[in-house]
Amino acid sequence: MFAKLALPLIAISTFATGVFSSPVSIPQGGVDDFNGFNRHQTVVDSGEVCHSVDITIIQQRLAVLQEMAKRIITEQICEVETQTIVFEQYFQSLGHFKGDLRRHSGIHPSYDRGIVGHFGNIYNSDGSFCTDDWNFSGNDIGSQTVVVSDNWNDQTSPQSVDSAYYAAIQSYYVALLASFFPSFICPSRLYFNILRYSPTMFAASAALFVLSLLSLTSAKPLALRREEALMLRNAPIMSLQARDNVTFNNFNNISQLQNFDNFNGQGNFDGSNNGQTVVIKEVQETCQVVQIEIVQQKLAILQEIAKRIITEQICDVQVQTIVLEQHRGALTVFSDDIQRKQVTRQIGYDATVAQKITELVNTDGTLSTSDNGFTGSDVGKNLVVPAGNNWDNSTGPARVQSALTAAQSALNNTSSQ
C-alpha cells in the first residue's frame, strides 16, 4: 500500500522542488544575495567567553527583539508588498545563523561588533525611531566578527545539536502532518507508523507533499525552504511524536532549560496560541515611509544583537539551537499575520514588550541580565496596530502572494549559487 502511495508523492515532491524555483533578483547587500547567503567573516575577537543566564531572561530578550522587528516593519513600511519582502529577508538571514550553530555552514557562530554598536541609536531621545543612515549595508555584516566560546565538541555535539534542532522543529511541524495523516498515528504514543514501514525517500516525499498541500490551502507559494523539505528525511524516526508531548523543561538533562516551557506555556512553543488585545489602532498610530535601507539597517542590528544574546548568554550549544528556533517560530507567526492568513488576527506589535528594547544593554555596553518582568504569554496583550498601509481585501492577497513568491525565488537563487 505504501509503495503505491509513495509514487504520486515522489512525483509531486519532484514537481514542487523543480518547478517553483525560478530566480528573481531582489538585492540586499548586492544583487543575487537576497538573504546574505554569500557571507564573509573577519574575526576581530575570539577570546570572549559565554556566561549562561536564566533561560527566562534569554526568552524575554528575544521576545523584545521580535516585537521591535514587528514595530519597524509595520510603522516604517506602508506597502504590504514591501513589508512581506523585507520581513522574508530578515527571517531568512536569521536562518543562516541556525546553520552556523549546527556547524553546517562553515561560518563561526558569532555576531558583528560594528553592527551591534548601533543598537543604542535605534531610538531618539523622545522615544521616536531614528531615521539616520548609519552607512552600512548587508555586505558589511561579518567585517567585525566576535566569536564567543561555547561547549561544542566535534565528537558528540553534531548528534546532540541535531537532536535539539529536530525536537524544536517538530514542535510546530509534526502537528501539521498529523492533521493530514490521522489514520497513521498510533493512539498510545502518537508515532507516525507511516514512517516505520516506508523507505527514507518516502518520508521525504510525504513531507514535501503535505507541505505542498498546506501551501495551496494557505495561499503560500510552493517555493519550499530546504529545511522544511528535508526535515522528515533527516529526523530520527522515533523522535517524531505528537506536539502536545514535546517538552523542553530539562531537555537532555540540561539545567539551563529548567522552566523553558513556562515562558510561552507547554504546547505553545512559538507563541501562536497567544491572544491579542488592541490598545491603539488605526488613526492613532500611522505608518511613516522611510528609506528602505534604513529599515534594513535596523533589522540587521536586531539580527546581530539576537546573535550576541544567544552566543554570549547561552553556553550550551543545544540550548542555543532550541532558543533560536523558538525565536524564528514566533517570527513565522508574524509572517502569517502580514499575509492575512487569519482574518481574526491584527497586524501589529506589543508596545509594552517593544519598549523594553532600552533595557537589553547596560550603559557600559554589556548585555543586561535583569528580569524584564513578563512572560511569552503576555505578548499581544498591549497591541498597537499602525494604520496607513495599502492593504485592501480585494487585491491585497494576490499582491502579497506575488511579493512572497518573488522573495522566495530570490532566496532559491541565492542559495543555489
List the beta bridge partners of residue 145.
43, 112
Residue 414: pLDDT over 90: no
Instruction: Give me the pLDDT at residue 186, please.
Output: 39
Torsion of CA 351, 355, 360, 364, to 10 degrees: 170
- 58: its cell numbers: 534569554
Give the pLDDT of residue 229: 47
Of 413 and 18, the one with more pLDDT: 413
**Residue 326: is its pLDDT beyond 50?**
yes
pLDDT category, 74, cuts 50, 70, 90? Answer: very high
Exposed e or buried b per residue across 375-398, where buried means at least 16 C-beta atoms within 10 angstroms of its C-beta:
ebbbbbbbbbbbeebebeeeebbe
Q: pLDDT tens-digit profile of 111-135?
A: 999 999 999 888 887 778 888 999 9
Q: What is the DSSP string of 200-263?
A: HHHHHHHHHHHHHHHHHHTT--S---HHHHHHHHHS-GGG---GGG---TTGGG-GGGTTGGGT
Q: Is the dihedral of CA 333, 345, 290, 219 positive or negative?
A: positive
DSSP state at residue 185: B
How many CB atoms are located within 10 Å of the residue 363 CB?
7
Closest CA to 415 of 18, 26, 154, 36: 36
Task: Report, as an integer, the average pLDDT of 196-202.
Answer: 40
- State the pLDDT confidence band at 140, using cuts at 50, 70 and 90: very high
pLDDT digits (tens, 9 = 90+) for 84-106: 999 999 998 898 899 999 999 88
138 or 179, higher pLDDT: 138
CA distance 177 to 170: 10
pLDDT of residue 23 exceeding 80, the answer is no
> Could you tell me the pLDDT band of residue 283, with boundaries at 50, 70 and 90?
low
Cβ of 236: how many Cβ atoms within 10 Å?
Answer: 11
Q: What confidence tier does 297 reach under pLDDT thresholds 50, 70, 90? A: very high
Q: CA–CA separation, 304 vs 70, rounded Å?
A: 16
Please state, in angstroms and rounded to a whole number, the distance separating the CA atoms of residues 119 and 124. 12
User: Residue 143 above 60 pLDDT?
Assistant: yes
pLDDT above 60: residue 35 = no
Among 31-45, 179-193, 198-212, 384-398, the range scoring the smallest mean pLDDT is 179-193
- Look at residue 379 and tell me whether its pLDDT is greater than 80: yes
Residues 329, 172: contact at Cβ < 8 Å? yes
Q: What is the pLDDT of residue 127?
A: 75
Over range 66-89, report the average pLDDT: 94
Distance (Å, whole) CA 69 – CA 352: 14
pLDDT of residue 9: 38
Ranges 185-194, 208-217, 382-391, 408-417: which has the least confidence: 185-194
The pLDDT of residue 292 = 93
Find, among 269, 271, 59, the residue nearest to 174 by Cα. Answer: 269
Question: Residue 2: pLDDT above 50?
Answer: no
Contacts of 352 by beta carbon, 8 Å cutoff, 6+ apart: 374, 378, 381, 382
Residue 212 in this model has a pLDDT that exceeds 60: no
> Are 89 and 28 a contacting pair, CB within 8 Å?
yes
User: In the predicted model, what is the mean pLDDT of residues 331-352?
Assistant: 90
Closest CA to 406 of 25, 6, 2, 5: 25
Cβ neighbours around 22 below 10 Å, total? 11
End-to-end CA distance of the chain: 39
Q: Pull the grid cell for residue 136.
A: 552600512
User: Given this model, what pLDDT does residue 128 score?
Assistant: 81
Say if CB 12 and CB 385 are below 8 A apart. no
Report pLDDT for 300: 95
Residue 411 pLDDT level (bands cut at 50, 70, 90): confident
**What pLDDT score was predicted for residue 242?**
44
Find all residues with CB under 8 Å of 131, minimum gap 6, and list them: 290, 291, 294
Q: What is the mean pLDDT of residues 390-403?
A: 92
Q: 376: closest CA among 211, 282, 248, 285?
A: 248
Average model confidence (pLDDT) across the chain: 78
161 has a pLDDT exceeding 60 = yes
